[in-house]
A and B are shown apart, each in its own frame.
Chain A
Amino acid sequence: MLKIDNLHAKVDDKDILKGLNLAVKPGEVHAIMGPNGSGKSTLGHVLAGRPGYQVTAGSATLLGQELLSMDTEERAHLGLFLAFQYPVEIPGVSNMEFLKASVDAVRESRGQESIDSVNFMKKAREICKEVDLDQNFLKRGVNEGFSGGEKKRNELMQMMLLEPKLCIMDETDSGLDIDALQVVARAVNAMRNAERSFVLVTHYQRLLDYIEPDFVHVLAGGRIVKSGDKSLALELEEKGYAWLEDAA
């Protein structure tokens, strides 16, 4: 699914990723943890193709295709989805309009016809229920006046509608109460299947109580310094990151 080799990247002339390696197979869930400023969010943005994030060395492929030379939207068409930590507002553009345009853009890139509005509406309403969002959110401006938790659930809704191959979730759990956390977990678990992979960037072990990862990695100093199974997350919860940062 995803293969990252010796990835180096900088933002504003500051080196953030310094030789990162990661391999994610179809159907796997990988959790990436690590101290603040270690490059966790940067990794997601570099893969998604955020302007201003400069790759200086290394490579990354998604489904066998070289990712880093593609435009941002082409990566999305290929099946990469990034759930944002801080989703921006787009005033006046209704959520519904935005979602349909997104779904249609992805379909178009695959040579499919645009989805018919009635079916789409029906599907969107169902997903609203699943992520515990009132249907009125479909009519409201994208993230306009949404609370932090509502924005996160809106990201989940988009993820469920777009049905991506690789979901990168950037601290989707931070700032959520326990009920909202369960909504996130429910969405991810419902979407888990043999063809879809997840990369969960998180600070806290508690998300992993609800979503069981296949692998846990520690990102420190721009590299993955330790990998393990879910027990690593518990160990980190207990010991913190300091003992690993020395290793980096």
Chain B
Amino acid sequence: MSQQQIDRAISKEYAAGFTTNIESDTLPPGLNEDVVRFISQRKNEPEWLLEWRLEAYRDWLEMTEPDWAHVNYPPVKFNEISYFSSPKDHKDRPKSLDEVDPELIETYNKLGIPLHEQEALAGVAMDVVFDSVSVTTTFREKLAEAGVLFCSISEAVQEYPELIRKYLGTVVPRKDNYYAALNSAVFSDGSFVYIPKGVRCPMELSTYFRINEQNTGQFERTLVIADEGSHVSYLEGCTAPMRDENQLHAAVVELVALDGAEIKYSTVQNWYPGDAEGKGGIYNFVTKRGVAHRDSKISWTQVETGSAITWKYPSCILRGDNSVGEFYSVALTNNAQQADTGTKMIHLGKNTRSTIISKGISAGKSSNAYRGLVRMSPRAEGARNYTQCDSLLIGDRCAAHTFPYIESRNPSAVVEHEATTSKVSDDQLYLCQQRGLNAEKAVSMIVNGFCKEVFKELPMEFAMEAGKLLEVSLEGSVG
């Protein structure tokens, strides 16, 4: 992109004065320092944050794309991506569900998504007066009463700059990895949560998010801080496939659990997986990590069924003594999907404990890899880890891989690893069909049974939907 183009874009923006003319709110493709400046300026960010972004950008230029993951894809053309795009104008969006791809609607119906949420998910243009607005306000009031801060990260930069400055990038440093550096330079928006000392968040932070998730963009940034002795359960994502035109998603999530705090972070990821040949799906390259201080607990639960490529390792740094880390994962790949996902449990403190339960399901001609690191540092006296890693294969053209890394530098630490690989057997299907179930229902039931240990960690409402989601995602995998 030429300097002129940028200048033009920027000046146009200024002329519009931050408010109107949505059409001009999209930057032409390409990435350079001016683009970073534009984003920061557009968001009215303080000088230090601009510097922070620029340093991340410079770091990113020096870095190379990681190639160790068990996935294959053509190189991402970073200069063909537009790094800033405001919500689309109403007139570009479908006017009603009648204009939306009927297949998408059918999927929503199968998942039992209410009509108004279908509209939101499909990106239907809606008036500002919309059911969820009042709901949102009620939530906000209830949260404010408890002293919980919950807003977009852009808002938080304006409203709570001291918290952002203190914690941003402390868990996932700018230079952590290629995609984290890119995200740090150009992050568009995301969520911010702060739970004050000793407060138990009065609700699952979910419904709110679900309604407001649109257009958080491809470089999402989330920061959750649970102050001493507090407790929060955060749900991210939605079981319905999101309409999305961005191919590359590089999100960063940072969790900070201070002494005695507890964070439960649940994700259901169902981005567009591409067609049966893998064309057009989302590349999901995500860095998620939490730091657990003394006596605190961080629990990750994820159900990953979407995206053409998933590269994701929600991790825990168990810094404080007696801290606990958990990772419960279901990763399902069908057709041409590829997933390389797992976790890292870094035991630094004494008597730290971690549990990893990973369930990988491969169908079609997909490839599904578990990659996990358990590290016991020299001072992690009495630390314990238990890992259970199960793979389930459906059909004979898919693949499952397991890459466990175990590093123990403390003789008193205990690490256990169990792994199994099994197949949905013809005999199991036959038994189900003889009892009257059709093949698809049978496979979905068998797969749900396989995932039970993880699903029971999900908040109630999500557990039900996750089951249905697997059923929909597995369609066409048998017979």
Contacts and interface: CB of A to CB of B under 8 A. Distances in A.
Interface of A: 48-52, 71-73, 75-77, 81-82, 84, 87-88, 90-94, 97-98, 101-102, 105-106, 109, 141-142, 158, 162
A72 B430 contact: yes
A48 B428 CA distance: 14
B438 interface: yes
B434 A87 contact: no
Contacts of A105: 435-438, 441
Contacts of A88: 425, 427-428, 431
Interface of B: 425-439, 441, 445-446, 448-453
18 contacts: A51-B430, A71-B438, A72-B430, A75-B434, A76-B433, A76-B434, A76-B435, A87-B431, A88-B431, A90-B431, A90-B449, A91-B450, A92-B448, A92-B451, A98-B432, A105-B435, A109-B436, A162-B435
Contacts of B451: 92
Given A50-B430, A51-B426, A72-B430, A90 B446 contact: yes
Most-contacted residue by chain A among B427, B434, B438 (CB, 10 A): B434
A125 to B, nearest CB: 19
A93 B430 contact: no
Contacts of B448: 92-93
B432 to A, nearest CB: 8
A168 B385 CA distance: 49
Given A73-B436, A97-B445, A101-B437, A92 B431 contact: no
Contact of B433 (A72, A81, A87, A92): A72
Contacts of B427: 88
Contacts, number: 76
A157 B435 CA distance: 12
Nearest to A99: B435
Given A77-B436, A82-B434, A92 B450 contact: yes
A182 B30 CA distance: 79
B435 A98 contact: yes
Tell me whether chain B's interface is mostly helix, strand or loop, or mixed.
helix
B449 A141 contact: yes
A141 B451 CA distance: 13
Contacts of A94: 449
Contacts of A82: 434
Contacts of B428: 88, 90
Contacts of A81: 434
A38 to B, nearest CB: 22
A49 B439 CA distance: 13
A124 to B, nearest CB: 14
Interface centre among B429, B432, B436, B437 (most CB of A within 10 A): B436
A162 B436 CA distance: 10
A106 B431 contact: no
B429, B435, B441, B448: most-surrounded residue (chain A CB, <10 A): B435
B445 A102 contact: no
Nearest to A143: B431
B434 A93 contact: no
A102 B436 contact: yes
B436 A93 contact: no
B433 A101 contact: no
Nearest to A83: B434
B346 to A, nearest CB: 30
B366 to A, nearest CB: 21
Given A92-B449, A98-B432, 18 more contacts: A49-B434, A50-B430, A71-B433, A72-B430, A73-B436, A73-B438, A76-B433, A81-B434, A84-B431, A88-B427, A90-B428, A91-B450, A92-B448, A92-B450, A93-B445, A105-B441, A141-B449, A158-B435
